[in-house]
Each structure stands twice: as C-alpha cells, then as structure tokens.
Amino acid sequence: MTPSDPTTAYRAAGVDLDAGDETLTRIRGAVTATYTPQVMAGLGAFGGLFDAGALKRMDAPVLVASTDSVGTKTKVAAALGRFDTVGQDLVNHCVNDVLVQGARPLFFLDYVASARLEPRVAAALIGGVAAGCQAHGVPLLGGETAELPGVYEVGEFDLVGTLVGAVESARLVTGEHISAGDRILGLASGGLQTNGFSLARHVLGDRYAEPLGDSSVGDALLAPHRSFLGAATPLLDADLVRGMAHITGGGVPGNLPRILPEGLGAVVAPTWPVPEIFGLIERVGTVDREEMYRVFNMGVGYVFVVAPEDVADVCRGCPEPLFEVGTVVSGEGVRLL
C-alpha cells in the first residue's frame, strides 16, 4: 500500500476497515444462529426485514419497544477482560422492560461503539447478545459496530440494544386496575444487574479480585442481569397479574410508582434476602441505607402487583420463589419501613 491509499489514511485517522471486516466474519455464525423463519433479511442488509405475518393472528396487536444500554458495567467488563456476559445482560434488560406491559419479544437490534475496534472483543460482545437472543428465541435482526476515535477513550466501549415485542391489546398490562390493599411480590435479582455501577465502582475501586462469599467482588459485579420472562409467563397466561415493574435504576422506590394509578403509593418492608455485594458497597462507601435503596435494586429484580385473594395462586403458579415486598396503599410514593 502507498501512503495515499485511502484504507491506510483512514486507519491513520483511527478507523480500521479491515478490523470491521474481521469482526463481521467472527460474528456471522453467532448472529445467523438466532434467525427464525420470520427473518427475511439480516446481517449485511441495510435494514433488517422481519415477517410480521404472525401478528395477523392477534385481534389487535400492540408493538412495545425498549432501548437501553449496559451502562458503566462495561468498565467492569473491560477491567476484568470478560466481555461475553454483558451482551446477555442487555438482551435480558430489554426483554424485562417490554414484559412489564405484557409483551413477548419479536426481534432485537444492537449497537457496539468503541475508540478502536478490536475484533476479538467486539465478537465476544455481540456473541453475548446473540446468546441472549437465542435463549429467548429472538432473532438478532441487525445492528451497528462503530469505531469512533475521539469520542471514546482507547479501551472503552458502549453497548446498546433495542427490542421490539408485541402484545394483544386486550392483554396489555397497564396497572390501571391496581387498588389499595393489593400485594406486591418480588423475584430475586442477579445482583446489581445493570444499574448503579457508577456508585459501585466509585466505592469499590479495583477490589475485583477480593473474595466475597463463594466467589469474588468482580464475579458479583458481573453477575448476569436476569430475565424474568419465564417466571412471568404462566402468571400472565392465568390473568393473575394487575401490574408489574422491572426494578432498575432507582430501585423499588423509583420504579414501583411508575405503574401505580394516581392517588396510590406503597409501603415496602425490606425483609427479603439482600446479596452480599450490596452490604459491601454500603460498608466501604458508608452509603446511607435509604440511598442504597434508591440507587440499587437491593436484591429485588422484578415485582408483581396482585389481588390479595390471588396471592396463593400466584405463588403456586410462579416457577420460582416469590417473596413479600409490600402493600399498595392510598397516597403517593413508596415508604420504606
């Protein structure tokens, strides 16, 4: 190549087209393995094509979409050199977000951006996304891998995804029938999941190798963001749920009010098991207990609001243990006991 070769010039500017081609080669198998018969065009197309004919079987289908990122959990993944799980975190987070309104996932799109594209790292990230998609039977329909020198520092990356799902209009879960006296039941989180990492990293620094329980601080921080689709499905099919909330940034106090009708609040008694990683953050950072519950999920990943008379049926019908979180009351906001 001569100095005037455009590929050389672009590489000198910080963008390596050959690295992009190598990344595409590395991810092809993982991405195409997620395809379902509904995929009409995927990898390499300008726009992914998805046959929406299945929606015709619904009387009044409603599309539900969610976009999110892994946030600064990417910094922990980079520090530990473990890139294969954050992609699954991303898919699960988006699945849970559309699940709150009763939707089941249709297809997923991803976006990976970095200062300098490293094919091995990008392939691990997208491979994780593909694994999360496969676990839900959802095609990774398309995406973008961007090299943005000057926007990101060397060694940093961002991971973002968009999920589109669908629900029958008559089965849309809006929370409108929630009333005072309803019970709030929770499912265990997978630790921090994908929220609160800026505070966690600020407090814990580089303690990743330190032991914590049966593993390490790093393992606890990278614990997967759980998908709650399998637990919620039988309850939705049995019409036992009046409302649901995905407990992300803001914890229970910040997310539960999003589904409560005007004039209703909740009293929450934090008696559920709290993973050790939260206690470590609280002690090392001398973080106020109330702030801990406002920043982190504190062990609650997802909640169901159900009628008092349905609690026993809900507990029997859920394929994993549920714990008491609190009660819906008249008023506003969430009060922690």
- Give the residue from 74, 61, 73, 78 showing the smallest Cα distance to 166: 61
Low-confidence ranges of the chain (pLDDT < 50): 1
CA distance 187 to 170: 25
- Let me know how long the chain is: 337
Residue 236 burial (CB count, 10 A): 18
Do 322 and 187 meet the contact criterion of CB atoms below 8 Å apart?
yes
pTM: 0.93
**What pLDDT, on the 0 to 100 scale, is given for residue 1?**
47
Q: What is the pLDDT at residue 129?
A: 97
Cβ atoms of 90 and 132 within 8 Å: the answer is yes
The pLDDT value given to residue 233 = 98
pLDDT of res. 181: 97
Catalogue all structural domains in the chain, each as residue range(s) with its CATH number: 14-171 (3.30.1330.10), 183-336 (3.90.650.10)
Q: For 127-179, what is each residue's pLDDT tens digit?
A: 999 999 999 999 999 999 999 998 988 888 999 999 999 999 999 999 999 99
Annotate 101-169 with DSSP letters as a single string.
TT-EEEEEEEEEEESS--HHHHHHHHHHHHHHHHHHT--EEEEEEEE-BTTB-TT-EEEEEEEEEEEEG
